[in-house]
Structure 1
Amino acid sequence: MRPVRSAARAMLASLFVVDGVRHLINPEAKVESARWILDKVGPMLEKTDPRIPTDPRTIVRAKAAADVVAGLALATGHLTRPAAAVLAAGLVPTTAASLGSPSEDQPTSLLKNLGLLGGLLLAAADTEGRPGLRYRTTHAVDRSQRAMKRAAKTAKRDARIAAMSAAAARKLPG
């Protein structure tokens, strides 16, 4: 299953890497859709932290850089779950922007983005057949509880043996 996972991740990531590089070189193609989103979210960002840039060109380049880095991480198998989560989070405003821009290919774009989002969510949840963090922590707690019960039982038995040995020793002459 490993080669299938690796190939699927590389194919999924390729779109983000290629688009990211394209938008790093020429951010003007996405500035208008970014402006549409920033008109709605920009005032909230300025209230939250005035250091966050609200220039559409800067936002497009930052998202493109994040897409390239996360896409390369996903494609190469390094930090695949966080990389997929970053790509999925970046895809949400992109999908919202495509909804706001009237075009002929809007339904196709929406379905493509939803399909990519589904693939990214699967990649973010994929543990590659290994137990997930929740499973490991639950079982670690269970193992420690069993170990504590065993230790308590052993301590009681040892205390009982020690008490019987002390009683027997008191009965001995001398």
Structure 2
Amino acid sequence: MRPVRTAARSMLAAIFVIQGWAAFRDPAKLAEKARPVTDRLEPTLKAVHPSLPTDAETLVRVNGAAQVAGGLLLATGHATTPAALVLAGSLVPTTLAGHAFWEIDDPAQRNQQRINFLKNLGLIGGLLFAALDNEGRPSLAWRSRNTARVARRGAGHTARTARREAQHVVHTAQREARHVLRDARIARIAAQAGRRLP
């Protein structure tokens, strides 16, 4: 199953590496389309840190670099969950800037942009699947529940064992007490018998 996963991740990552590299190398081509989205992001970026870049070209270049890095990590199987999440996150502004079909009046172009928008939506869905893929290992939630179940079972076993041991101690103590009482009775009878002898 591993070769299939590797091939699927590589196919999913290819578009990000290629398109991300193109955006990183020549951001001016995409900056004008990205400007409406980057202008809306500017106050948020300034609020996060005043020295963060807010110009469209730099943000396109950063997005391209994130796509190249995330694509390479996803394709090689290293840090696949964070890589897939970074790629999904980088695809959101790309989709909003490049495929805003609702703003286009021409029916043919609107339809083409809707198709591209839905394609990107499908890529985001695939990336979310890639982020959740555990390669056949149980999920963290299942492992947590299983650990708790095993601990409860172990605690129940320990409690039953402790109860049995306590019952055994009580029975042993009662038996010893009966022996002591019997020995005391025998000693008393022997002492009384010894007093009666001349």
Is TM-score (shorter-chain normalized) higher than 0.5? Answer: yes
Distance in 1 between the 2:121 and 2:166 partners?
64
- Aligned residue for 1:172, secondary structure, equals helix
Distance in 2 between the 1:13 and 1:31 partners?
23
Instruction: Between the two structures, name the one with larger relative contact order (CA 8 Å, sep ≥ 6).
Output: 1
* Higher Cα Rg, which structure: 2
| 1:12 aligned residue | 12
| 1:42 aligned residue | 42
- Aligned residue for 1:31, secondary structure, equals helix
Structure 1 gap segments, 5+ residues each? none
Instruction: Tell me the matched-pair count.
Output: 174
Distance in 1 between the 2:46 and 2:163 partners?
64
Q: Write the letter of the residue equivalent to 1:151.
A: T
- 1:1-174 equivalences under 5 Å are 1-100=1-100, 102=104, 104=109, 105-173=112-180
- Aligned residue for 2:99, secondary structure, equals helix
| 2:190 aligned residue | none
Query: What do residues 68-123 of structure 1 show as CA deviations (whole Å, max 9, x unaligned)?
Result: 11111110111212211111111111111123475934223212212211211221
Structure 2 gap segments, 5+ residues each? 184-198
Query: What do residues 121-155 of structure 1 show as CA deviations (whole Å, max 9, x unaligned)?
Result: 22112222221111111111111111111111111
Aligned pair in 2 of structure 1 residues 142, 34: CA closer, same or farther (>3 Å)?
same
Q: CA deviation at 1:14?
A: 0.7
Q: CA deviation at 1:170?
A: 2.6
Distance in 2 between the 1:127 and 1:18 partners?
26
CA RMSD, aligned part only?
1.9
Q: Write the letter of the residue equivalent to 1:69.
A: A
Distance in 1 between the 2:33 and 2:139 partners?
38
Q: Write the letter of the residue equivalent to 2:178.
A: K
Q: CA deviation at 1:45?
A: 2.4
Distance in 2 between the 1:29 and 1:162 partners?
85
Q: Write the letter of the residue equivalent to 2:88.
A: A
Distance in 1 between the 2:113 and 2:84 partners?
24
- Aligned residue for 2:138, secondary structure, equals coil
Q: CA deviation at 1:171?
A: 2.8
